Amino acid sequence: MNHNSTSPQLLTSVATAGAFPQELNTLNHALLTPTALALRLQTTLEIEKLLDLFSQTVGYAIPHDGLTFSHQDSGLHLSQGRISRHSCSYRLSLENESLGELRFLRGRKFREAELSLLEEFLAVLAYPIRNALWYRRALLAAQTDVLTGLSNRLAMETLVNKELAQFRRGGPSTALVVIDLDHFKRINDEYGHLTGDLVLRTVAQALQKATRKSDSLFRYGGEEFVVLIPNTDAEQAQLAAERFCQAVRDCEVILEDGTQLALSASVGVALCELQDSCIDLFQRADAAMYAAKTAGRNQARMASYTGDFVAKAHPDTTTVSQRECGADLSSGAAKALDQRA
């Protein structure tokens, strides 16, 4: 059964209708009026929590097994509860703005009286769900790097803290990889900042292709990128670091005059520890990255648990793994940048 969404006019009529029938408006021993429902829905701007709160609230009047919500413009698809045989769906809109489609599921058919009441509830939901979508849009904008389209430092810190909290509760280990382009300042100085921007976008696309679906890629700032790798160990993290290093080396940046820039990156890796904060984990990976630069660039290094960085000379004393990433960058038609500068 498909139903059009509620409108502001319907919201007005509901607001003047008074309390719902007595047998339908019990919730924690309080009357579920439109005003009471609206007040409950105003307690959160997070779309997932809002839908969960709405489902729990109206579930006393209209029992259901689950619901789904999709908003195509934002690529948002959420589901709660379980899939059941029967469903009713509503395309929500407000002031000509599409708010997505909400579908309710349960094992038996919905009665007409239930559907009528559900539409009244949805009228109350219209403004809160629009506010939640606006909030999500603003939050995503605040956590997105404009130049590359990647998530930014704020998004990274938020996700790293979540992963660390899960790890402290007994979850799988997480690795943080810091990737810093070699000699990027020289690219800006010699070819201009527009070329530098082109390099950053090209590298961002290459790193996206080199990451797994479960990995998260961020632009930390300047020429520095970060990859968060969940559910991994030291060996897998090092292999991933080498893959990112190779992805940068394989980038093709050809200027209008035919000059092809050869790129490389220094990469540092750190595995999370129980006492780590986001800053601790990043600093260890960042220090490993600088150790890679000191050792000659164009390589990946892994931080030890002590934070010491020693060149790999003897297997029994190694605290850092070092692997070269590729061949001489000055070969072929590429214009390599001096690695010693």
Q: Residue 88's beta-bridge partner residues?
A: 104
Tell me how far apart the alpha carbons of residues 336 and 339 are, in angstroms, rounded to a whole number. 8
The catalytically annotated residue of 46, 223, 224, 324 is: 223
Across 38-47, 132-141, 332-341, least confident range: 332-341
Percent of the chain with pLDDT over 70: 80
Tell me how far apart the alpha carbons of residues 43 and 302 are, in angstroms, rounded to a whole number. 45
Four-way CATH pick for 2-142: 1.10.40, 3.30.450, 3.30.70, 1.20.1530: 3.30.450
Residue 300 scores a pLDDT above 90? yes
Work out the average pLDDT over 205-226: 96
Tell me how far apart the alpha carbons of residues 263 and 327 are, in angstroms, rounded to a whole number. 12
Tell me how far apart the alpha carbons of residues 216 and 326 are, in angstroms, rounded to a whole number. 24
Assess contact for 251 and 203: CB atoms under 8 A.
Answer: yes
- Indicate if 223 belongs to the active site: yes
Residue 208 scores a pLDDT above 90? yes
322-324/97-106 β-pairing: unpaired
Q: How many helices (H) and strands (E) does the chain have?
A: 9, 16
Tell me how far apart the alpha carbons of residues 84 and 38 are, in angstroms, rounded to a whole number. 28
Tell me how far apart the alpha carbons of residues 120 and 116 are, in angstroms, rounded to a whole number. 7
What pLDDT score does 44 carry?
Answer: 95
Ranked by mean pLDDT, the top range of 8-12, 34-38, 256-260, 316-320 is: 256-260
Residue 135 scores a pLDDT above 60? yes
2-4/334-335 β-pairing: unpaired
Does the global pTM surpass 0.75?
Answer: no
Q: How confident is the model at residue 167 (pLDDT cuts 50, 70, 90)?
A: very high
Helix (H, G, I), strand (E, B) or coil at 271: strand
Q: Kindly give, in sequence order, each residue whose CB lies less than 8 Å from that of residue 3, ignoring residues fewer than 6 positions away.
A: 88, 89, 90, 91, 115, 119
Residue 327 scores a pLDDT above 60? no
Work out the average pLDDT over 147-154: 95
Query: pLDDT tens-digit profile of 68-125?
Result: 999 998 889 999 998 899 999 999 999 999 999 999 999 999 999 999 999 999 999 9
Q: How confident is the model at residue 305 (pLDDT cuts 50, 70, 90)?
A: low
232 phi/psi in degrees, rounded to 5:
-140, 170
What pLDDT score does 251 carry?
Answer: 97
Query: pLDDT tens-digit profile of 262-283?
Result: 999 999 999 999 999 999 999 9
Four-way CATH pick for 153-335: 1.10.287.110, 3.30.70.270, 3.30.450.20, 3.30.1950.10: 3.30.70.270
Q: How confident is the model at residue 319 (pLDDT cuts 50, 70, 90)?
A: very low
Tell me how far apart the alpha carbons of residues 300 and 179 are, in angstroms, rounded to a whole number. 9
Domain boundaries, the chain: 2-142, 153-335
Arithmetic mean of pLDDT over the chain? 83
Going by C-alpha positions, the residue among 27, 32, 30, 26 that lies closest to residue 120 is 32
